[in-house]
A and B are shown apart, each in its own frame.
Chain A
Amino acid sequence: MGVLETRNLSLKLNGKNILDKLNIDLWQGHVHAVVGPNGAGKSTLAYTIMGLDGYRNIEGDIFFNGVSLKNKGVAERAKMGITLGWQEPARYEGLTVKQFIIASAKEKKVETVEEVLSKVGLNPEEYINRAVDKTLSGGERKKIELASILAMQPSFVMLDEPDSGIDVASLEKIFEGIKLLKNYGATVVLITHSLTVMKQAEHAFLLCGGKIVEKGSISKIEPYFEKECLPCEHKNIPDKGGS
């Protein structure tokens, strides 16, 4: 039994099958990875679980703690404890880091903001009053997104390419953030095509063309992914629909 289960989950976008009869069980308190080449449907799966606009017209069903998510909107799913960190986080003109994180936070106080910023390796003094806009670098925005998720204390987190735009030194901070989520009992889904990120997980699902082609422990998936997927030509299909 998973905390989140998809049952024959299919999604068509513009008449094209993007997710194809997926049956996935994600276990409570575990860190999972969803890996696969560009265009495999990884982001789409995350958007569909989150219930974003345009991704709710599904076939099959998604259950969270046994409850169908089918007729629930984004905010409702978030209130149940589900959240998503985007592959490429949004920018907000004029909104400060403090406002953004407080809006997300379970405990709405400045101390929370400072705490989560430190956890992702950003100096609170330097960042708390900056705007979450185009003046932040891509990597900084990713970290602030993760900080907002830490502040929210969700029970089910999907992180879409948590390492994109993150330098090697900061990657450790992101991994620490993932451990923090796990340590307080959250279920984590890492969406990635990086082996380093995949190794932070306990289990992996290999997605290709909207289908699960392999699943199991990291030690099982890693060689397969390395041998079959990384050299695969899909890899070079640029990301158009995602993020």
Chain B
Amino acid sequence: MDINELLKLAEEDKALMDKDTAHLTINLNKVVSKNIVPGLHVDTKELKDSVEVKIKVDDGVVIEKKVHLCFGVTHEKALQKIKMDIDIGKNASISVLSHCIFPKAVDVKHIMDAKINVGENASYTYEEKHIHSVDGGIEVYPKADVKLDKKAKFKTTFELVEGRVGKLDINYSVTGLKESVMELMSKVSGRGDDIIKIKEGGNLIGEKARGVLTSRVAVRDNAKAEVYNIIKATAPYARGHVDCKEIIQGNGVATAIPVVEVKHPKAHVTHEAAIGSVNSKQLQTLMARGLSEDDATDLIIEGLLS
């Protein structure tokens, strides 16, 4: 399999032909192709067993079209290490669609280590979509340390769209200054002996900073999930919410540890966590329309993770 087949798999081939759409494609630890647009700087450095990527958006630049990042591994066995340094200038705006594609993985490790700075009144949206191999021979370690300046907005979603999880260990930490907004969402479904760990931390240190951490996880067979969401609010009128739903079937095991810590009397943080099998009324309604129990369950989980 070559990188072009990989891009087709992610339905990325068309976007990458468009010269007004910025993109960066990396296969293993090699930069394969790159396109930039005015106001956007993408610098890469290939090291022995990793790649360093620096992305910068100039102050006031609004990038209209989604920027496409593609991190692929066409090999069965490999270690892909990516160090990202992202700097979004004041009043700038960028939306990134990131595909991580490991369709052949038997023994692949993907490590992503990102430092992200979102400037004053800037906006950064990051959608990460994963395509894994069907037998789950993969370990994925996405780590991000995010700083939000005043009025900055950061929105991220993590989604496994195809294949097995393997081992996933997300570790995000976001700190927000005055009137900043953070929204983190992860949606993962595990089966077999998949292991899912999600650790998301939001620090609301500025006045009126807001944050929402949302997780939707389904585990079946012998899969295990552990979701550790923490929001700390230390400034007046900071608002936070943790929302975790996990559905378990078979021998799946799920843990949810929502932590809310409030250190200012005028801050307000709420949390909800629900772990259980599929809701019985939902299930029985669909069965009363003629769906089998399995089909009804799949549909409910599909909705939850959509």
Residues of A within 8 A of B (CB): 50, 52-53, 73-75, 77-79, 82-84, 86, 89-96, 99, 103-104, 131, 145, 148-149, 152
Q: Which residue among B281, B284, B286, B303 has the maximum number of chain A CB atoms within 10 Å of its CB?
A: B284
Residues of B within 8 A of A83 (CB): 288-290
Q: Which residue among B280, B282, B290, B291 has the maximum number of chain A CB atoms within 10 Å of its CB?
A: B290
* Smallest Cβ-Cβ distance to A50: which chain B residue: B288
A-B contacts at CB below 8 angstroms, number = 72
**Chain B interface category by residue count:** 20 to 34
Offer 16 A-B interface pairs, CB within 8 angstroms, sorted by A: A53-B280, A53-B284, A74-B284, A75-B287, A75-B290, A78-B291, A83-B289, A84-B288, A92-B282, A94-B304, A96-B303, A99-B302, A103-B286, A104-B289, A148-B289, A152-B290
Residues of B within 8 A of A (CB): 216, 245, 279-282, 284-293, 295-296, 299-300, 302-306
* Smallest Cβ-Cβ distance to A74: which chain B residue: B287
* Smallest Cβ-Cβ distance to A243: which chain B residue: B281
A92-B303, A94-B305, A94-B306 given as contacts; is B284 within 8 A of A103 (CB)? no
Interface residue SS majority, chain B: helix
The answer to whether B281 touches A152 (Cβ under 8 A) is no
How far, in whole Å, are A239 and B296 apart by their CA atoms in the complex?
Answer: 28
How far, in whole Å, are A93 and B217 apart by their CA atoms in the complex?
Answer: 13
Kindly provide the distance from the CB of A118 to the nearest chain B CB, expressed in whole angstroms.
20
The answer to whether A75 touches B300 (Cβ under 8 A) is no
How far, in whole Å, are A52 and B282 apart by their CA atoms in the complex?
Answer: 12
* Smallest Cβ-Cβ distance to A149: which chain B residue: B289
Residues of B within 8 A of A90 (CB): 279, 281-282, 285
Per CB-CB distance, the 6 closest pairs between chain A and chain B, nearest first, are: A95-B303, A94-B303, A104-B289, A74-B287, A78-B290, A90-B281
Kindly provide the distance from the CB of B197 to the nearest chain A CB, expressed in whole angstroms.
23
Residues of B within 8 A of A77 (CB): 288
The answer to whether B304 touches A104 (Cβ under 8 A) is no
Kindly provide the distance from the CB of A190 to the nearest chain B CB, expressed in whole angstroms.
17
Kindly provide the distance from the CB of A136 to the nearest chain B CB, expressed in whole angstroms.
14
How far, in whole Å, are A90 and B279 apart by their CA atoms in the complex?
Answer: 9
Kindly provide the distance from the CB of B220 to the nearest chain A CB, expressed in whole angstroms.
18
